[in-house]
Amino acid sequence: MPPATHDELTPATRAVALGRPGRDPGAAVVEPVTFTSTYLAGGPVNYARVGNPTWTALEEVIGGLEGGEALVFASGLAAIDAVVTLVPPGGRIVVPGHAYNGTTGLLRGYAAEGRLEVRTVDISDPPAVLAALEGLEPGQDLLYIESPTNPMMEVADIPTLVRHARERGVLTAVDNTFATPLLQTPLADGADVVVHSATKYLSGHSDVLLGAVVTAATARGRALRERMLTRRSLHGAIPGPMEAWIVLRGIRTLAVRLERASANAVELAARLDDHPAVTRVRYPGLGAMIAIEVRGGAAAADRVCEQVRLWTHSTSLGGVESQLERRRAQPLEVETVPESLIRLSVGIEDLEDLWRDLARALGAT
């Protein structure tokens, strides 16, 4: 029997089934880690800065989940840099005011050097985004979407924004780290590029950094992919084969982890809404990320983060363990993020254990 074709598999199954060695009798069931710096001459790849079989297996899974073709990078930011540098010098990029702070920091640096013009917008306000697209150069300028945004949890109307950008010939990229391809697939909405910090949900165990870009399997998508492949090969922001293997192993359980974490998050968001110490809950109703604001400003929020015993007080997100942090404690975070905002990355622990710990910490403010 030939293996099932990808098209007939649901995303949860693709996460498990893709990126496997061929089904020859006696073959390994799991893709091995290939540690080599070079290859015998005459094959398709001659050097390991250009390609590695363990990356290829992971790219098959991530690409299969997003409905496109993936390239893996050393980190999410390395992948984002490959997307941003698709815009030629002097070009313009429209970006959410509350994008991931590493993304805004990277763009601020390029803007300060005069390399790019950066226009920040409220990505949840379509008329504001459309106004910012005015005057953009077809075929070179970029609308960069992140949804939900990190950490403000603003949600973009991706199909509408992408349609308007495409009508103007403007490239579109979507950071899909928070939602994951199980909750939204921007390429299906016409986006040109999807970018991931696989450090978060795709790997899911807070033990590795890795990034990915995914482009559509069309002539337009392949041309973009080729440019980002060249960038990866020549700038060298490549993942180690062991890191790729760790993500490949983690992604197998993406669907069950996300299902459990999301169910926990739905219930925690409802309980937090009723908690007297919490003044605002930002939760889009899906996924496992929540942002709350607490009474008493930065000092009270810091106390919550210091009081938890089960939740881990750490930056980053998307792991099996629940994590929290006050975002403005990060030096790069933008000033329009409230001082008392705590970002919660809900994990897969027992709900009641999570609630007891969090409620006790909130009660101590």
Ligand X SMILES: *Cc1c(COP(=O)(O)O)cnc(C)c1O
Among 62, 209, 334, 361, binds ligand X (CB under 6 A): 209
Evaluate whether 229 touches 191 at the Cβ level (below 8 Å): no
Task: Give 119's strand partners.
Answer: 94
Q: Which of residues 246-285 bind ligand X (CB under 6 A)?
A: none
- Residue 347 interacts with ligand X (CB under 6 A): yes or no: no
Judged by CB under 6 A, which of 51, 64, 68, 76 binds ligand X? 76
Residue choice 54, 124, 185, 199 for contact with ligand X (CB under 6 A): 199
For position 75 contacting ligand X by CB under 6 A, the verdict is yes
Sheet with 312-313, edge to edge strand ranges = 278-282, 289-294, 341-345, 323-326, 312-313
Question: Residue of minimal CB distance from ligand X?
Answer: 76
Residue 340 is a binding residue for ligand X (CB under 6 A): no
- Which stretch, 29-37, 48-56, 172-180, 326-334, contacts ligand X (CB under 6 A)? 172-180
Q: Does 175 bind ligand X (CB under 6 A)?
A: yes
Size of the site for ligand X (CB under 6 A): 16
d(CA 177, CA 288): 12
How near is the Cβ of 318 to ligand X at its closest, in Å? 8
Of 124, 147, 177, 185, the residue at the interface with ligand X (CB under 6 A) is: 177
CA 288, CA 249: separation in Å to the nearest integer?
21
**Dihedral of alpha carbons 332, 334, 339, 342, sign:** negative
Q: 288 exposed, middle or buried (CB, 10 Å; 0-12, 13-18, 19+)?
A: buried
Nearer to ligand X, 100 or 283 (CB): 100
Query: Is position 327 an interface residue for ligand X (rule: CB under 6 A)?
Result: no
128 or 332: CB nearest ligand X = 332
Main-chain phi, psi angles of 96, to 5 degrees? -65, 140
Regarding beta strands 289-294 and 341-345, do their DSSP bridges make them parallel or antiparallel, or are they unpaired? antiparallel
For residue 200, the minimal CB distance to ligand X (Å) is: 6
**Of 31 and 175, which has the nearer Cβ to ligand X?**
175
Please state the φ and ψ torsions of residue 254, each to the nearest 5 degrees: -50, -45
Asked if 241 contacts 59 with a C-beta cutoff of 8 angstroms, the reply is no
Q: Which residue, 141 or 175, has its beta carbon nearer to ligand X?
A: 175
CA separation for the pair 365, 359 (Å, rounded)? 10
Binding site for ligand X (CB under 6 A): 75-77, 100, 102-103, 146, 150, 175, 177-178, 197, 199-200, 209, 211
